[in-house]
Amino acid sequence: MRYTCVMSKTAKGRATRQSFQDAARRVFERDGYLNARLSDIAEEAGKSMASFYNYFDSKEALLTDLATDFDTELQAKVAEPFERGLAPHDALPEAIRAFYRHYRTRLPDVVGIVQASMVDPKFAADWREIRTNGVRTISIGIRRAQRDGWAPGLDPMLAASALSSMLEHFCWVWLAQGGDAIDVELEEDHAVDTLWKLWSHAIYWTEAE
Amino acid sequence: MRYTCVMSKTAKGRATRQSFQDAARRVFERDGYLNARLSDIAEEAGKSMASFYNYFDSKEALLTDLATDFDTELQAKVAEPFERGLAPHDALPEAIRAFYRHYRTRLPDVVGIVQASMVDPKFAADWREIRTNGVRTISIGIRRAQRDGWAPGLDPMLAASALSSMLEHFCWVWLAQGGDAIDVELEEDHAVDTLWKLWSHAIYWTEAE
Amino acid sequence: MRYTCVMSKTAKGRATRQSFQDAARRVFERDGYLNARLSDIAEEAGKSMASFYNYFDSKEALLTDLATDFDTELQAKVAEPFERGLAPHDALPEAIRAFYRHYRTRLPDVVGIVQASMVDPKFAADWREIRTNGVRTISIGIRRAQRDGWAPGLDPMLAASALSSMLEHFCWVWLAQGGDAIDVELEEDHAVDTLWKLWSHAIYWTEAE
Amino acid sequence: MRYTCVMSKTAKGRATRQSFQDAARRVFERDGYLNARLSDIAEEAGKSMASFYNYFDSKEALLTDLATDFDTELQAKVAEPFERGLAPHDALPEAIRAFYRHYRTRLPDVVGIVQASMVDPKFAADWREIRTNGVRTISIGIRRAQRDGWAPGLDPMLAASALSSMLEHFCWVWLAQGGDAIDVELEEDHAVDTLWKLWSHAIYWTEAE
DNA sequence: TATGAATGAGATTTCATTCAT
DNA sequence: GATGAATGAAATCTCATTCAT
């Protein structure tokens, strides 16, 4: 999370800044980050391009802001079920749901980060960091399950990576790309339930079985 | 797969065409598709940019070629274990391995297709088609397993989508992005084994359990 | 000297005005006039850019102020040794010294005027006017020397122009540009002495010699 | 002399390159280097701006080319009278004339270099180097004169710097700026004669006198 | 078949200046 | 008197693609 940005002192300035972020979100969702021109964002915000530069150094700088917020909130929301005191097994579906919802709510930000990471090494690094946080958390859960006798012999780190991929890419496909099937409107409950079933059975098994 | 391309009659022409494809692969792997300029590809091929247009209508057309081959071979390789007559359960790890290997071998093509699909609706559609083939195949396997009593109540389509995401994105992360952990060199056997364990347990379970 | 400027009535206003001039001087010395942005000057002055326009119509207007002062003082200082009643030959080194000192003291103003005259015809005219004053004075001195039998046949106007160039450009090179030699710190006395020797021998000679 | 440039392989390419240089010269002379826009140069050359970039990386790169040529030729032309075997005293006016002519002939280049050195440290360094070559040569001449008993006690380096300033700035004022007097058309012979008289008497004197 | 040359169409960025408060 | 916000108007540079040879 590197690029810098300027904090406005007045309410009007903050409002304008916000309007650029909102406009950017709409444009990212509509055209994608890479196809979004600064002029589109400015137009969508009802401001001039020059005004944009009073608040952000560049399109990348704006996205960095969005990404930082995205990351911070994601960490908090996913951790919440576990910190609330639920048993790991019960917290899991809640965490999956939190991830799914966050992805859907902040979809433009995801689109931005994913696309930017395709062309900009800085963003690739940022996005990787965000992802790694999730993988680490998952691997801890797997290790804990293994101490209880589940999934003997499974590589916790690699399995966490794979499960993270499943969750992340499933959300990408269905929320950002329109899904794998035409004419199917995906229900949140159904998606979360399916992911949870796969996930839990992928971990909570024993050799005996 | 829409863009057209020209087939050369002479041996020299075919060689030049091939040299552009090879050069493009090297450049895509090094710089990514979106950052690759036609001039880079021509330089890498030791040809002029104008010559490129004797063989391909555009950068996209070249990529379409790569993508078509990628898809055709992928389908064949992944289907092979099943068609060889192995039991579904035994064919699975072989199919996973085939996918993993194909991904690694044709990495530049994957990079190209994935990146192009970010900015070009045509490629997004192509990539989606490739993906859908895989998902459909997986879902058939799940349905078959369910007829044998496994995974009751699991949505075959959605589960297939999720497992496909796991496989696909895991390969992307570890083969194209350098993986989730620094200083870890991933062994093919280990990767395939982990994916297979997760996958098989995610499907081969019963309520009783 | 054309651009207009506003005279403040209050003490606070005059102080602010002064602070902009001082800031501009520092910035001109550091970055040059052409590279100096109004925002730099305002920042250096600890004021807003908008405030600048309460005192000056433009960057050029500010510079015009500096240039006017520069010129007025220069004329006075250079004329002083002659008006003090010294013999022309004795007044000369004093005048050279006065010029040299003024140049050094008001270096930022010189940098500003010289640079502005490169892109702005108005300043080119101003700077030329300042220069012409000097040349005229010098030519008068030469004519007087010629009445005493020195430098017969020398074109007073052209010689004055050349000597003025020597003085002016020498000062520019050594005071604004860092000099012709690395690792040499120029002493005022030495510079003045050298210039005076060249100048006086260039004028005070006879054919007989 | 740092910026790079591309050498064309065909005659047409070289002609285009030349036409850009010629156009740039005309524009520099008319508008000055700093006020010259790439679009002006391209228009003057009857080419597109994009074409410009096939031959030069930037306006600076083009100027670097001009400056390199300017410098090379200047060194050769000024040195020629001395190398021809003339006595130093007789070679001097020839060298002054060569300098004056080169300045006049290559005026656009001079305008470019002088102006660029105002805003670009790289050019400042280049221009300084060109100047230093001249100063060094002059100082050698002074030292030689001093061995013959002339100008005892004069600092050769500093005097050379001052005389170089006289020559250089005189040419600048009269050739690039229109001169110090209105309604005077300067004759080359007259200018060279005046400069030579000043220069020679400034050096060839003895204390006795 | 090959290629050097040429260009149209953009996209980003800078900065002096104006305006409302 | 002071300032944050807003902008018009440039100017530079990139790159896929076309064309003449």
> B70 and B35, same structural domain?
no
CATH code (residue C151): 1.10.357.10
Count of C-beta atoms within a 10 Å radius of residue A4: 9
For chain A, say whether B165 makes contact (Cβ under 8 Å): yes
Q: How far is the CA of C14 from the C1' of F3 (A)?
A: 18
Instruction: For helices B121-147 and B59-83, give the axis angle rounded to 10 degrees.
Output: 10
- Please report where in the chains the tokens 């070249």 appear, as a residue: B62
Check CB contact under 8 Å for C159 and D119. Answer: no
pLDDT at A205: 96
B195 inside domain: yes
For chain D, say whether C140 makes contact (Cβ under 8 Å): no
pLDDT at C199: 97
Q: How far is the CA of C46 from the C1' of F1 (A)?
A: 15
CATH code (residue B50): 1.10.10.60
Task: Give the span between the Cα atoms of A59 and B91, in whole angstroms.
Answer: 48
> B42 and B64, same structural domain?
no
B169 inside domain: yes
pLDDT at C5: 46
Inform me whether the pLDDT recorded for B80 exceeds 80: yes
Quick one: which residue's CA is nearest to F15's C1'?
B37
DSSP C56: B
HEC letters along B13-57:
HHHHHHHHHHHHHHHHHHHCCCCCCHHHHHHHHCCCHHHHCCCEC
Structural domain containing residue B48: 6-56
Searching chain D, which residue's CA lies closest to the CA of residue C200? D202
DSSP A56: B
Touch between D and B (at least 3 CB pairs under 8 Å): no
Low-confidence ranges of chain D (pLDDT < 50): 1-5, 209
Task: Give the span between the Cα atoms of B67 and B1, in whole angstroms.
Answer: 8
> B67 and B14, same structural domain?
no
Inform me whether the pLDDT recorded for B31 exceeds 50: yes
Quick one: which residue's CA is nearest to F3's C1'?
C48
pLDDT at A144: 93
pLDDT at D126: 85
pLDDT at B88: 82
Whether the CB of D8 is less than 7 Å away from nucleic strand E comes out as yes
Q: Which of A103, A166, A183 to mutate to test the interface with B (most CBs of B within 10 A)?
A: A166
Searching chain A, which residue's CA lies closest to the CA of residue B124? A177
For chain D, say whether C49 makes contact (Cβ under 8 Å): no
The per-residue pLDDT of chain C, averaged, comes to 91
C1 inside domain: no
DSSP D4: -
Region label for A179, one of left (φ > 0), alpha (ψ between -120 and 50) or beta (otherwise): left
Inform me whether the pLDDT recorded for A185 exceeds 70: yes
Task: Give the span between the Cα atoms of A156 and A164, in whole angstroms.
Answer: 12
The per-residue pLDDT of chain D, averaged, comes to 92
pLDDT at D2: 35
Domain count, chain C: 1
Inform me whether the pLDDT recorded for B70 exceeds 80: yes
Inform me whether the pLDDT recorded for B1 exceeds 60: no
Averaged pLDDT, A169-180: 94
- Tokens encoding C46: 């600890």
Task: Give the span between the Cα atoms of B82 and B49, in whole angstroms.
Answer: 44
Element (H, E) at B163: helix B156-171
pLDDT at B207: 81
Q: Decide which of B56, B79, B98 is a domain's last residue.
A: B56
B1 inside domain: no
Check CB contact under 8 Å for D162 and C170. Answer: yes
| pLDDT tens, chain C, 209 aa long | 444 445 566 888 889 999 999 999 999 999 999 999 999 999 999 999 999 999 999 999 999 999 999 999 999 999 999 899 898 888 999 999 999 999 999 999 999 999 999 999 989 988 898 899 899 999 999 999 999 999 999 999 999 999 999 999 999 999 999 898 877 889 999 999 999 999 999 999 998 64
Task: Give the span between the Cα atoms of D44 and D25, in whole angstroms.
Answer: 10
Task: Output the CA–CA distances (angstroms, integers) from residue C81 to C89, C99, C199, in the order listed.
Answer: 10, 11, 16
Q: What is the DSSP string of C170-191?
A: HHIIIIIS--SSTT-PPPHHHH
Check CB contact under 8 Å for B173 and A158. Answer: no
3 state SS of D102: helix
- Residue B164: its chain A contacts at CB < 8 A? 180
Q: How far is the CA of D50 from the C1' of F5 (A)?
A: 36
Touch between D and C (at least 3 CB pairs under 8 Å): yes
- Residue C118: its chain D contacts at CB < 8 A? 32, 34, 114-115, 118
- Residue D173: its chain C contacts at CB < 8 A? 131, 161, 165
- Tokens encoding C168: 């002016």
pLDDT at D194: 97
Inform me whether the pLDDT recorded for B122 exceeds 80: yes
Task: Give the span between the Cα atoms of D35 and C120, in whole angstroms.
Answer: 9
> B65 and B19, same structural domain?
no
- Residue D159: its chain C contacts at CB < 8 A? 194, 197-198
Whether the CB of C54 is less than 7 Å away from nucleic strand F comes out as yes
Nearest partner of B163 among B205, B115, B131, judged by Cα: B131
pLDDT at D6: 57
> B79 and B32, same structural domain?
no
- Please report where in the chains the tokens 């590197």 appear, as a residue: A2
- Residue A152: its chain B contacts at CB < 8 A? none
For chain A, say whether B2 makes contact (Cβ under 8 Å): no
CA D161 to chain centre: 15
Nearest partner of B65 among B112, B103, B9, B32, judged by Cα: B112
For chain B, say whether A96 makes contact (Cβ under 8 Å): no
For chain B, say whether A139 makes contact (Cβ under 8 Å): no
Whether the CB of A61 is less than 7 Å away from nucleic strand E comes out as no
3 state SS of A174: helix
Task: Give the span between the Cα atoms of B141 and B92, in whole angstroms.
Answer: 9
Q: Decide which of B40, B56, B72 is a domain's last residue.
A: B56
- Residue A126: its chain B contacts at CB < 8 A? none
pLDDT at D96: 96
Searching chain A, which residue's CA lies closest to the CA of residue B118? A115
Tens digit of each residue's pLDDT (9 = 90 or more) over D91-113? 999 999 999 999 999 999 999 99
Whether the CB of C19 is less than 7 Å away from nucleic strand F comes out as no
For chain B, say whether A13 makes contact (Cβ under 8 Å): no
pLDDT at D23: 97
Nearest partner of A166 among B150, B108, B194, judged by Cα: B194
> B197 and B101, same structural domain?
yes
> B52 and B67, same structural domain?
no
For chain A, say whether B158 makes contact (Cβ under 8 Å): yes
Task: Give the span between the Cα atoms of D209 and C209, in whole angstroms.
Answer: 8
Task: Give the span between the Cα atoms of C47 and C24, in whole angstroms.
Answer: 12
Q: Which phi and psi (to 5°) does residue C186 adopt?
A: -80, 130
- Please report where in the chains the tokens 């993988």 appear, as a residue: A135
> B51 and B66, same structural domain?
no
Which residue in the set B154, B158, B170 is minimally distant from A162, CB to CB?
Answer: B170
Searching chain B, which residue's CA lies closest to the CA of residue A205? B201
D196 inside domain: yes
The per-residue pLDDT of chain B, averaged, comes to 91
What's the burial of C150, exposed, middle or buried (CB within 10 Å: 0-12/13-18/19+)? Answer: middle
Q: Decide which of B33, B56, B79 is a domain's last residue.
A: B56
Q: Which of residues 17-56 of C touch strand E (CB under 7 A)?
A: 36-39, 49-50, 52-53
- Bridge partners, B56 (sequence order): B5
Inform me whether the pLDDT recorded for B40 exceeds 60: yes
Inform me whether the pLDDT recorded for A209 exceeds 60: no
* HSE value, Cβ hemisphere, 13 Å, CA-based, for C37: 5
Averaged pLDDT, B74-80: 93
D75 inside domain: yes
> B150 and B73, same structural domain?
yes
B103 inside domain: yes
**Nucleic acid strand F: bases within 7 A of protein CB:** 1-20
Q: Which phi and psi (to 5°) does residue D56 adopt?
A: -135, 145
D185 inside domain: yes
Task: Give the span between the Cα atoms of D73 and A195, in whole angstroms.
Answer: 78
Q: How far is the CA of A25 from the C1' of E20 (A)?
A: 29
Q: How far is the CA of B48 from the C1' of E3 (A)?
A: 6
